[in-house]
Amino acid sequence: QSALTQPASVSGSPGQSITISCTGTSSDVGGYDSVSWYQQHPGKAPKLLIYDVSNRPSGVSNRFSGSKSGNTASLTISGLQAEDEADYFCSSFTSTSIHYVFGTGTKVTVL
Amino acid sequence: QLQLQESGPGLVKPSETLSLTCTVSGGSITNSIYYWEWIRQPPGKGLEWIGSFCYGETNDYNPSLKSRIAISVDTSKNQFSLRLSSVTAADSAVYYCARRDLGEYFFDFWGQGTLVTVSS
């Protein structure tokens, strides 16, 4: 199974915006509007941030936004805050028999 | 608020069977509009979907693991369980349980995960 590719780390200063990419193929990211993003603090359960490419669940800050172009999806965090320091990973539905494929994960550091 | 909590042995010997349970609170696992999932993450690697259960439907498993896994349910305890047989070191991972809505392709609630190490 091929994972979706994410940068290992992204950093930014408080108040800045950062973008995390998630690159797949036409069998997953590019073929379906079923990309989701999750935030995970150490030792905690992953938290859903974005679903279906760009939708935010109730209660998730509007500082988090998602988009997609071709085989690459992106998560943008605007107005970066110290509490945003965490691991982030993407997921997509895939036409293969495993149904779901996940990103390699990105560690966000707030400088 | 829905909560999921994984439990089980943290250490399993090679060739033995790994058994984990996910206890669900704040919602019923017999509600057929939800899928209950198992997902794992080996150390230093990405996440891997293991399989899913939906009450009243046939379980769905990752083909690469299908011959070794079984997902079962205990409705009296509102729990669902994972059994993975003939484990090797490659099965060492953090195991998560999660929930997915019928017809959706994202996981809206997760447990915090439990680390299982396969070692003699």
Among the partner-chain residues A4, A36, A104, the one whose CB lies closest to the CB of B106 is: A36
Q: Do B108 and A48 touch (CB under 8 A)?
A: yes
Q: Do B105 and A104 touch (CB under 8 A)?
A: no
Mapped onto helix, strand or coil, the DSSP state of residue A82 is: helix
What is the average pLDDT value for chain B, to the nearest integer?
A: 95
Measured in degrees and rounded to the nearest 5, phi and psi for residue B85 equal -95, 165
Q: Do B49 and A93 touch (CB under 8 A)?
A: no
Measured in degrees and rounded to the nearest 5, phi and psi for residue A84 equal -80, -10
**pLDDT exceeds cutoff 90 at A10:** yes
pLDDT digits (tens, 9 = 90+) for A13-49: 999 999 999 999 999 999 999 999 999 999 899 999 9
- Rounded Cα distance, B48 and B41, in Å: 6
- Contact at 8 Å (CB) between B94 and B76? no
Q: Do A52 and B106 touch (CB under 8 A)?
A: yes
Interstrand relation of A86-93 and A106-110 (parallel, antiparallel or unpaired): antiparallel
What's the burial of B89, exposed, middle or buried (CB within 10 Å: 0-12/13-18/19+)? exposed
pLDDT digits (tens, 9 = 90+) for A47-95: 999 999 999 999 999 999 999 999 999 999 999 999 999 999 999 999 8
**pLDDT exceeds cutoff 60 at A1:** no
**pLDDT exceeds cutoff 90 at A97:** no
Structure tokens at A103: 């990103």
Chain B residues in contact with chain A using a Cβ-Cβ cutoff of 8 Å: 4, 39, 45-49, 60, 62-64, 96, 98, 104-113
Among the partner-chain residues B63, B106, B113, the one whose CB lies closest to the CB of A48 is: B106
pLDDT digits (tens, 9 = 90+) for B22-79: 999 999 999 999 999 999 999 988 899 999 999 988 999 999 999 999 999 999 999 9
pLDDT at A100 (0 to 100)? 93
- Contact at 8 Å (CB) between A46 and B110? yes
Helices (H), chain A: none
Structure tokens at A4: 């979706």
Q: How big is chain B by its Cα radius of gyration, in Å?
A: 14
